[in-house]
A and B are shown apart, each in its own frame.
Chain A
Amino acid sequence: MTAIGERLPRKEDSRLLRGLGRFCDDQDRAGQVWMRVVRSPIAHGRLVSVRKPGNAASGSVVTAEDLPPGVRIPVRLNVQGIDLTDHLQPVLAAGEVRYVGEPVAVVIADDPYEAEDIAERVEVEIDELPVTVDTAAGTLAAEFELGYGDVASAFAQAAHVVGIEFDIGRHSAVPLEPRALLADVDPATGALQIFGMTKVPVFNRDVLAGMLGIDEHLIHVHAMDTGGGFGVRGEFYPEDFLVGWLARKLRRPVKWVEDRAEHLVAVNHSRQQHHVISAAFDENGTLLGLKDDVLHDNGAYARTHGIIVPELTLAMLPGPYRVPAFHGRIRVMLTNKTPCGTYRAPGRFEGTSVREQLFDVAADRMGVDRVELRRRNLLTADELPHTRAMSTLGTDVVLDSGDYVGLLDKAVVEADRLGYQSQLESLRARGHTAGLGVAVFLEKSGLGPQETADVVVGTSGEVRVHSGGTSLGQGIETVLAQVTADALTVDPAVVTVVNGDTVLQPFGGGSWASRSTVVGGSAVHKAALAVRERAIQLAARMLEVSEDDLDVTAGAIGVKGAPGTSVSYAEVAKAARPGSPHLRDDEPAGLSARRRFEVEHMTYPYGVHFALVDVDTGTGHVKVLRYLVAYEVGRAINPTLVEGQLLGGVAQGVGGALLEEFRYDDAGQPQAVTFMDYRMPTAAELPHVDILVAQDAPAPGNPLGVKGAGEGGVTAAGASIAGAIRDALSLTGPVGRLPMTAERVRGLIEEGT
């Protein structure tokens, strides 16, 4: 019996669906004060003065002058040896403001209404400076190249060279719950309890400790429920420093809850890139080389993600294809807009959109079927593992395992079986402007370098797991319970998983980069196996038999072939208490184990998306009628949760493909600052999503054989929908940009290309 592979209902749901979740804004502490951030209303200017209102209490307004000098938010992930020190964001602006929404001061008050009233009356005097909105006109913060092979000769000997330009719009994650933080302080020691840092709590704890100049053990970050993360939530932002610093300074708990209007200008934006991409093919449509020149708009500063989005864009651009020569150059530009970071499938949503649109254009131009062109150029199963002479996130790019062609064929058969092609034909026969898009993509997951887990068995037989992942709504508690239950042969119901508490698990790496199940799950697996071994060891002493004579079934350790002669985990746990005759002098008490899983390389899942759209030629409206995701996950610990991840990703992908965009006017004023203007798709805009989860290519690099499932629903949504629109409108060129808003589609209908 194994719990792995079961469609177990989410353990999280019994509390979340009953309203018993524990979110940051549910927390209050006696004597707490509320923080409100005063933000720049100007996109670029010299900060002349910040004056607190006449009737405000002293100390109730804090500016950069009150902070330790020069405090800036450090980069979490340094890559490609590029130094971004000059471009880091200060906690509060000093001297200059660089985007609308930049924190210039904070207000402290006893309740949030009062804080907002005072904040409104803080007078911020700014001498306006010229504003840069256009990416190309920005300041160059970094430039680098990635690639391999002889691209020049590939293009020189090509029978066909096809190039396009493509823009990806600025959009980002908008989790249901905006950011929220509560810092409680022990007045005697200055120790902090922090609630609401849910993503990379150990990292954030260490950054805060470093900035405050205290030992990390004086900070305890608690595990919390969180209404979604998607990359943006839980990174270290100015507010993460401010609550802790203020709590220690005021010796009072400090609470801050971001409102939606703040969120849309303050949280990391993402995606905005301009690509000039071209591919060289021989006379048979075989790829000889690929090159891409990218302008990446990073907004006003480099934040915690540094340049990993640009890096991933290039490193993942060749995707699942056989690309003999590749060259990518990217210029990271700073503009007077909200700074950028990662958003679910960072770099891959962008690169996949552009590459797949290029292949669609190329297929038409060479007179080759779109699917056939892809099939011809996908790496075959026997070409894997495949190493590309590039690095990303500090790891070498080694495509570990898979059958890309096999999955494409499966997806084509499934789409046919579900009637995608026949529905397309019937729509067209009835005069509809309908189109079908197809896109193939490569994902990455399971970034190391390590994850640590503790598995502890209580004397009632309940099992607790202290993992370094975090619960962002993805169901990781359930998945880790299944992994634990599998190794111990117990019911997942007796397993409780605590994620992201820095005292219980001080070496956690957090949940991001589709790593929790792969790396966190493997650590839990190792720790659970160690507990099982320890239980066998103790059971052998209890039963006075040799360990070799024991095995574990259904949660009981018993003598092989002698039913009835067994002890339970609960009994073993009792036998492991101090004073037990079964415990030796040099052994620690308790039935528990801490294990670390280390990994050098990522594992690369992959997939195929199909989108069937119907375009209203009068309004330009694109209705996504049907959507298919085929995705290779190695091994699905819980297929329902894998499907849930993919489904949610599609929803966000539809948003990025058709609706969501952070626009700015010429003065750098953000134009999407409410849900009226920042248009996330609702259930009404989403089709039923067909999902095919494949488990044909287990990951060789981890004991569970799993590949990450967090991002594959969004990765190719821009690509497949762009392809479907292009197909519907019978364009010869590319659609040119995302999101394809109704207005842009209507424009294409008029102009055509």
Chain B
Amino acid sequence: MKPAAFTYHRAYDVNDTIAQLAELGQDAKILAGGQSLVAMMNFRLARPSALVDITRIAGLDYLERDAQGLRVGALTRHRTVETAKIDGFGVLSKAARWIGHYPIRCRGTFGGSIAHGDSTAEWCVLAVLLEARIVLQGPRGRREVPATEFFQGFFMTAAQPDEMIVEVRFPKPAPHAALTEYSQRQGDFAIVAASARLDLTEDEVLTSRVVLGGVGQQPVVVDADLAGQPANEETWRAAGEVAAAQVDPPSDGHGSSAYRKKLTAALVARALAEAAA
């Protein structure tokens, strides 16, 4: 459980990072907190030839609420999000509590988690739910990729090896949104994560969006429009059943496909109920 040989480099600003990545080639990886990458290196599941440590870059740790929504700097720690009070984005702070354990939340970064692209990761699921845009910078300049297009498969994203994530933009507030998930132990990766966003009146759903983690290679958008339905437990329960019927989750040591479908039904209903509350 010791990593294969690699070289270590430190970057002091974004341009420096881009330059170093270009020089070190495509086997180099960015180190942005290391809470997933370092463990994978110790198991030799990841073997980067070089690490470019960006955690000393100043000014990338921010949560900025503006008229357009929320901008999250790539180096914002999970713990910062957890403890922040962000008008209209309470779902982010609440969901942060599902991320690993306290030390992990103190070191792991928002951009790092998005770049890692784990389909059960809270930020990945919520980025898709809230239709965030991922801001990338590379030798060809800046570009924005919608989260719905960013996650492309099992730990695969739209980011090129020579690009770095600098920011994640959430376009509009989501006062009625929630994420819930299940694992047998607190802090483990979710077996299934379910998130929901609603617009609703007192008693009726206006729009809805449900996104799942742990049921496919990337976050999965459930095809269910609850518009016009009563905002009640029966609606949420039925939506859970609809979601479960749509997914074809993988089986692994943490849960069979059939169990993940049952979890999907239960968790979607709970996420919707919490979002509506």
Q: Is A743 an interface residue (CB 8 A)?
A: yes
Q: Which one, B60-68, B124-132, B181-189, B195-203, is touching chain A?
A: B181-189
**Across the interface, do B187 and A619 meet the contact criterion of CB distance under 8 Å?**
no
Contact of A112 with B by CB under 8 A: yes
Assess the B1–A682 pair: CB atoms within 8 A: no
Task: List the A residue with the shortest CB-CB distance to B186.
Answer: A684
Alpha-carbon gap, A724 to B236, bound state (A): 31
Which chain B residues in 3-42 approach chain A with CB under 8 Å? 4-5
Give CA–CA (A144, B163) in the complex, Å.
66
Chain A residues touching B, range? 20 to 34
A261 lies within 8 A of chain B by Cβ: yes
B69 contacts chain A at the CB level, 8 A cutoff: no
Residues of A near B43 (CB, < 8 A) are: 261, 674
Interface status of A168 (Cβ within 8 A of chain B): no
Considering only residues 213-266 of chain B, those with a C-beta below 8 Å from chain A are 253-256, 259, 262-263, 265-266
Q: With both chains docked as a complex, state the minimum distance between the C-beta of A722 and any C-beta of chain B, in angstroms.
A: 16
In the assembled complex, B2 has its CB within 8 A of some CB on chain A = yes
How would residues 657 to 689 of chain A score, 1 for a CB under 8 Å from any chain B CB and 0 otherwise? 011000100000001101011010110110000
B270, CB-defined interface residue at 8 Å: yes
CB within 8 A of A682: which of B186, B189, B253, B270? B186
- A742 beta carbon closer than 8 Å to chain B: yes
* B44 beta carbon closer than 8 Å to chain A: yes
- The interface bits of chain B over 159-189 (1 if a CB of A lies within 8 angstroms of the residue's CB, else 0) are 0000000000000000000000010111111
A621 touches B184 (CB 8 A): yes
CA distance in complex: A685, B1 (Å)? 27
Given A112-B2, A117-B4: A741 and B184 within 8 A (CB)? yes
Q: Which one of B2, B43, B265, B266 has the greatest number of beta carbons of chain A within 10 Å?
A: B2
Which residues does chain A contribute within 8 Å of B266, judged by CB atoms? 618-619
Q: In chain B between 39 and 81, which residues have their CB closer than 8 angstroms to a CB of chain A? A: 43-44
A598 at the interface (CB under 8 A from B): no
Complex: A676 Cα to B40 Cα, angstroms:
12
Asked whether A685 lies within 8 Å of B186 as measured between CB atoms, the reply is: yes
CA gap between A483 and B233 in the complex, in Å = 64
A117: B residues at CB distance < 8 A: 4-5
List B contacts of A742 (CB < 8 A).
Answer: 182, 184
A112 cross-chain contacts in B, Cβ below 8 A: 2
Measured CA separation A113–B185 after assembly (Å): 32
Nearest CB in chain A: distance from B120 CB, A: 12
Interface 0/1 of A618-662, CB less than 8 Å to B:
111100000000000000000000000000000000000011000
Min CB distance, B149 to chain A, in Å? Answer: 29
A728 to B146, CA, bound (A): 47
- The answer on a CB contact under 8 Å between B259 and A681 is no
* Distance A742 CA – B255 CA, assembled complex (angstroms): 9
Give the distance to chain A from B143, nearest Cβ to Cβ, in Å. 34
**A117-B2 Cα distance, complex, nearest whole Å:** 9
Bound CA span A116–B1, Å: 8
Residue contact B2 to A684, C-beta cutoff 8 Å: no
Q: Determine the chain B residues whose CB is within 8 A of the CB of A113 once the complex forms.
A: 2, 5
B253 and A743 within 8 A (CB): no
B185 touches A743 (CB 8 A): no
Known A259-B1, A684-B185; judge A663-B270 contact (CB<8 A): no
Contact pick for B44, options A120, A618, A619, CB 8 Å: A120
User: Is A260 an interface position by the 8 A CB rule?
Assistant: yes
Are A261 and B259 closer than 8 Å at their CB atoms? no
How would you classify the secondary structure of chain B's contact residues: helix, strand, loop or mixed? loop
CA distance A197 to B203 in the complex (A): 68
Q: Is the CB of A659 within 8 A of B182?
A: no
Residues of chain B lying within 8 A (CB to CB) of residue A674 = 43
Minimum CB distance partner of B253 in chain A: A671
Residue of B nearest to A619 (CB): B182
Task: Identify the closest chain A residue to B192 (Cβ).
Answer: A619
A117 CA to B265 CA in the complex, in Å?
46
Instruction: Determine the distance from Cα of A682 to Cα of B267 in the docked complex, in whole angstroms.
Output: 23
User: In whole angstroms, how far apart are the Cα atoms of A620 and B263 in the complex?
Assistant: 9
Bound-state Cα–Cα, A584 to B116, Å: 79
Q: How far is the CA of A692 from the CA of B44 in the complex (A)?
A: 48
Option from A260, A261, A619 in Cβ contact (under 8 Å) with B263:
A619
The interface residues of chain B lying within 8 Å CB-to-CB of A619 are 182, 263, 266-267
Knowing A260-B1, A674-B43 are in contact, say whether A679-B263 is a contact too (CB < 8 A): no
Pair B182/A743 contact, Cβ less than 8 Å: no
Residues on A with C-beta less than 8 A from B262 are 618, 620, 746, 750
Partner of B259, one of A659, A684, A743: A743
- List A contacts of B188 (CB < 8 A): 676, 679
Rounded to whole angstroms, the CA-CA distance of A619 and B187 in the bound complex is: 16
Contacts A117-B5, A619-B263: A676 and B189 contacting too (C-beta < 8 A)? yes
Q: Of B187, B255, B256, which is in contact with the most chain A CB atoms at under 10 Å from its CB?
A: B255
Residue on B nearest A260 in the bound complex, by CB: B1
How far is it, in angstroms, between the C-alpha of A747 and the C-alpha of B255 when the chains are bound?
12
Chain B residues with Cβ below 8 Å from A261 are 1, 43
Most chain A Cβ neighbours within 10 Å, of B185, B256, B267: B185
* Cα-based distance from A410 to B263 in the complex (angstroms): 41
A676-B100 Cα distance, complex, nearest whole Å: 11
- Encoded as 1 (CB less than 8 Å from any B CB) or 0, chain A from 118 to 154 comes to 0010000000000000000000000000000000000
- Nearest A residue to B189 via CB reads A676
* Chain B residue with Cβ nearest A622: B184
**B184, A659: Cβ atoms under 8 Å?**
yes
Contacts of A259 in B (CB 8 A): 1-2
Give Cα A622–Cα B186 distance, bound, in whole angstroms: 13
Interface residues in A48-97 by Cβ distance below 8 A to B read: none
Chain A residue nearest in CB terms to B184: A742
Contact present for A743 and B1 (CB under 8 Å): no
Report how far A120 CA is from B185 CA in the complex, Å.
33
Nearest-CB residue, chain B, relative to A178:
B1
Measured in the bound complex, the distance between the Cα atoms of B265 and A123 in whole Å is 48
Residues in chain B near residue A663, CB distance under 8 A = 253
Q: Which residues of A contact B263 (CB under 8 A)?
A: 618-619
Cβ A621 vs Cβ B182 within 8 A: yes
- For A676, the chain B residues whose CB sits under 8 A away are 188-189
Q: Are B184 and A684 in contact (CB under 8 A)?
A: no
B183 nearest CB across to chain A (Å): 9
Chain B's closest residue to A683 (CB) is B186
B residues in contact with A750, CB < 8 Å: 262
Given A618-B262, A618-B263, A658-B184, 6 other A-B contacts at CB below 8 A?
A: A618-B270, A619-B263, A663-B253, A671-B253, A743-B255, A747-B259
Please, could you name 11 A-B residue pairs with CB atoms under 8 Å apart, sorted by A? A116-B2, A117-B4, A120-B44, A259-B2, A261-B43, A618-B269, A619-B267, A621-B182, A671-B253, A676-B188, A679-B188
Query: Would you list the 8 A-B pairs with minimal beta carbon distance, nearest first?
Result: A618-B266, A684-B186, A259-B1, A743-B259, A671-B253, A619-B182, A116-B2, A113-B2
Q: Which residues of B are at the interface with A, using a C-beta cutoff of 8 A?
A: 1-2, 4-5, 43-44, 182, 184-189, 253-256, 259, 262-263, 265-267, 269-270
